Amino acid sequence: MKRLTALLLACLVAAAAFAGCSKSAKKNDTSAASSAASATADEASKPASTSDEAMADGIDYMVLVNKTNALPQDWEEKLTTVHMTNSVGVDVEVEQKAYAAYLELKADLEKENIYVDLDSARRSVAEQQRIMTEFIEKYGAEYAAKTVAQPGFSEHHTGLALDLYLIVDGQDVTENEDMVQYTDIWAKIHEKLADYGFILRYLEGSEHITGYGYEPWHIRYIDDPATAKQITDEGVTFEEYLGKASSNEVQIDLGTSEKFSQDELEAAAVTIKCQFAAWEGCELKSLRYAGDEAVTEEKLTQLKAKSPSLDASKVVCFLMDFSTSETNAETALEPNRDYTDYQWWLSKSKDGWQIADQGYGA
Ligand SMILES: [Zn+2]
């Protein structure tokens, strides 16, 4: 119950930043994503041995998984985990090296009479999918997309993200709203993280970069204490350290519509953003609703020819500006080019928005 509450809270915070993603984003070429991440780290003359050593163990401890970077496809088969039972009797699964490091951290904290335990760590993609399905059945696709982290895009999938809780005067403090009160205790915990290869993942005031509000309990194992110390000392997010933070805020303009509510348009924008997230090496600049009048009879005829079951009364068009890089993996796109007014056509059914067409002159 607590886990679901925490998940919901984290997601609600992020809903405004278009947190939810569509299933289609799953085709993300994640091997490219993780190699790009380590290349960026190397370029910035970070200790190159980190990722090499990590790779030898089977997984890349510097992997970036967030709302736009999916879990690498072969991650779950490479992952080695251990199970533990926490003080409230819940089974928690953690990546093995991360767990060993956590035990050292915990022992060190206990010397200062600080007591922590693991609330949750690894959550499989299948489990996240189950939660998503449950929400879709209960509340509908639109609400689910906005409130539940998209399967494949949660750092908890890695087994390297740990949610701590506190034990204060022998009492378990597990609710987020209670835990945040203990700022002194968290400060002492955070001070020690880097020594054991952990970083604090969702920093205060970095919501626009991480997609999550401040979470003093969510720590991330990256293996190398020197790198962890550098990230901590620089006071940057993991995204910024890896050079994977979007440099400027993406402009989303939902415009106005007589036919669709702002919630519906937002859900459509989320669908597009998540499809776009799979376009490795491309950077989104802006996305705007093209207006009700953009949907012409001619266009509808064209779309109907493609998908006869499409509901002509529920079609929208969005325009996107984005750029491609040298290494973009989408073969249909030219490298190093700025695209403007790229069209996304979506239609709505009972399962939510689907992409009906995209491109120029589409
Ligand atoms: Zn967490």
Say how many Å lie between the CA of residue 162 and the centre of ligand 1: 6
One-letter amino acid at 284 equals: L
Q: What is the mean pLDDT of the chain?
A: 82
> Where do we find the tokens 């600080």?
114
- Do 22 and 104 belong together in one domain? yes
Tell whether 20 is covered by a domain.
yes
pTM of the model: 0.58
For Cα atoms 116, 121, 125, give the angle at the middle one, nearest 5 degrees. 170
The secondary structure element, H or E, covering residue 97 is helix 96-110
- Do 283 and 217 belong together in one domain? no
Q: How far apart are CA 167 and CA 128, in angstroms?
A: 28
Domains identified in the chain, total number = 2
Give the structural domain span for 149: 2-241
Residue ending a domain, among 241, 263, 292, is 241
pLDDT bracket for residue 328 (50, 70, 90): low
- Do 78 and 166 belong together in one domain? yes
- Do 153 and 61 belong together in one domain? yes
- Do 139 and 275 belong together in one domain? no
The proportion of the chain whose per-residue pLDDT surpasses 70, expressed as a percent, equals 80
- Do 103 and 216 belong together in one domain? yes
Q: How far apart are CA 326 and CA 198, in angstroms?
A: 33
What's the distance, Cα to Cα, between the start and end of the chain in Å? 46
The secondary structure element, H or E, covering residue 119 is strand 115-120
Say how many Å lie between the CA of residue 132 and the centre of ligand 1: 17
- Do 198 and 110 belong together in one domain? yes
Tell whether 41 is covered by a domain.
yes
- Do 131 and 166 belong together in one domain? yes
Tell whether 246 is covered by a domain.
no
Residue ending a domain, among 241, 274, 296, is 241
pLDDT tens-place string over residues 27-36: 333 333 333 3
One-letter amino acid at 38 equals: S
Question: The tokens of 6 are what?
Answer: 């925490």
Give 131-180 as a DSSP string.
HHHHHHHHH-HHHHHHHSPPTT--GGGGS-EEEEEEEETTEEE--HHHHT
Tell whether 109 is covered by a domain.
yes
- Do 194 and 323 belong together in one domain? no
pLDDT bracket for residue 147 (50, 70, 90): low
- Do 141 and 257 belong together in one domain? no
Say how many Å lie between the CA of residue 156 and the centre of ligand 1: 6
Residue ending a domain, among 207, 241, 275, is 241
Say how many Å lie between the CA of residue 251 and the centre of ligand 1: 27
A 10 A CB-CB count for 147 gives 20
